[in-house]
Amino acid sequence: MTVQLSILKRLAGQPHGRASIEVVKQHLAIYYSSGPEWPVRMKRIASRAPQLDIFGQRLIEREVGCWIITDAGRKALERLELLDLGARQGKVEREIAQEPENE
């Protein structure tokens, strides 16, 4: 699931939402070997869409040698990121509300 989300993110950042499969693989290798931040972030966001299937849901189209993010893929990614942002903001607000006041 997190790899599928990473693929969506990578394609969304490419010109015209298109990249060769080789380029996608290279970027994924960099992301997942550069420390824990990326995998943790993708796992957190992916948890909001446990049934994510980028090909079955037609969020990505396949052409010979490349993948292309669809409009539906961009919208799904945007929705997931907004859900994640809202949840993180709510968590921060709850943590602030739980902090004891300085007297």
CATH 2.60.120, applies to 2-98? no
pLDDT in tens, the chain (103 residues): 689 999 999 999 998 999 999 999 999 999 889 888 888 888 888 888 889 999 999 999 999 999 999 999 999 999 998 888 877 676 645 555 555 655 4
What strand order describes the sheet that includes 18-20?
18-20, 66-69, 60-63
Long-range contacts of 26-35 (CB under 8 A, 24+ apart): 28/3, 31/6, 32/6
Domains of the chain, residue spans: 2-98
